[in-house]
Amino acid sequence: MAGEHVKVVSKYYLSLIQNIEMLPLNAKSLGSLMINLTSLPVKDHTATNWWKKYKDSELVAFRGSIVHGTYRPNSHPNSIDDIDIMGLFVAPLEHYLGHKQKETDDFFEGEWDVVMHELRKAIFLLGGNNPNVLNLLWLRKGDYLHVSELGQLLIDNRDIFMSKQIHNTFTGYAHDQMKKMTNAATNGYMGAKRKQLVTQFGYDTKNASHMIRLLNTAKETLADGKLRVYRPDFQLYLDIKDGKYTLDQVKEMAEQLFEETHAAYVKSPLPEKSPLDKVEKLCVDILKEKFKISNGK
């Protein structure tokens, strides 16, 4: 290996290696993991404008293909991935007391695709079991770029957001990916590499990969309430991205997973919905601590 594939000296790599015991490994999967580590991003986020702006937020972390274990750098011939970032910030006091509102900041900076949510907006999405935001609380230690004390408080209370609504939100996103994988192929913005894959295989393999990952994740989460964002089965999703499965095979796989996910929903030990009183209290506690408010003063 050479070039960017051997630059495993960043804090991100070291943290992943130090926390390797978190993953269910055997001899075969250990080899796959080390191969997968070589494809992780090595760009310095501390030099970016977005980091300078949001580095003191409550949470800042990688998201998307990086945290799922399916990221490929631009040097890879089949790379169709950005470097995705998500975070959570507490807005200035006037956001909560005045007319100024700022709920989400969503933008690109070069390869970086950044989404930052204001605390109340994020908690609203968490309470509704939004897959993208829910992932933010279930990452490996090395996936976080910054966690404040209040961000850690949110992570420590992540179980209160877990409910059977995961079935509807995750399968809903999966249905959207299924529609996009054929109906929306090549429509709208799409990079040249991705268009080439759509043309070659007759469907959007990236949407297909997302769909199958969402369904597998939902099925597992409904079974035991634990959200496994990093996917030890990452090779399956890479193979789907690479067009190693026909469209019919992907649809058959999805049909089976939709059935299995529903079965997991029926048997799930999770509550029907998140306890709104606990969610509300957590939000208030974080804001009171942030602005040093006590006893309503």
pLDDT tens sequence across 96-155: 888 777 899 999 999 899 999 999 999 999 999 999 999 999 999 999 999 999 999 999
For the ranges 18-22, 95-99, 154-158, 271-275, the lowest mean pLDDT is seen at 18-22
Q: What is the pLDDT of residue 154?
A: 98
DSSP E strand boundaries for the chain: 59-62, 83-89, 104-109, 112-118, 144-147
Q: What is the pLDDT of residue 183?
A: 81
Q: What is the pLDDT of residue 32?
A: 42
Per-domain residue ranges of the chain: 163-273
pLDDT tens figures, 225-269: 999 999 999 999 999 999 999 999 999 999 999 999 999 999 999
Closest CA to 3 of 74, 66, 62, 79: 74
**pLDDT range class, residue 288, cuts 50, 70, 90:** very high
pLDDT tens figures, 39-96: 455 578 999 999 999 999 999 999 999 999 999 888 788 788 889 999 999 999 988 8
pLDDT tens figures, 157-188: 999 999 999 999 999 999 999 999 988 655 55
Taking residues 215-231, what's their average pLDDT? Answer: 98
Residue 52 tokens read as 């300078």
Determine how β-strand 83-89 pairs with β-strand 112-118.
Answer: parallel
Contact 282, 157 (CB under 8 A): yes
pLDDT of residue 5 exceeding 80: no
Q: What is the pLDDT of residue 192?
A: 79
Of residues 10 and 277, the one with the higher pLDDT is: 277
Q: What is the pLDDT of residue 31?
A: 41
Q: What is the pLDDT of residue 297?
A: 55
Of residues 15 and 95, the one with the higher pLDDT is: 95
Buried b (16+ CB within 10 A) or exposed e, 43-67: eebeebebbeebeebbbbbbbbbbb
Q: Burial, 175: exposed, middle or buried (Cβ in 10 Å; 0-12, 13-18, 19+)?
A: middle
**pLDDT range class, residue 211, cuts 50, 70, 90:** very high
Mean pLDDT of the chain: 86
pLDDT of residue 38 exceeding 50: no
Closest CA to 59 of 124, 117, 140, 129: 117
**pTM as predicted:** 0.84
Of residues 296 and 255, the one with the higher pLDDT is: 255
Closest CA to 272 of 129, 105, 82: 129
**pLDDT range class, residue 292, cuts 50, 70, 90:** very high
Taking residues 215-233, what's their average pLDDT? Answer: 98
Q: What is the pLDDT of residue 190?
A: 67
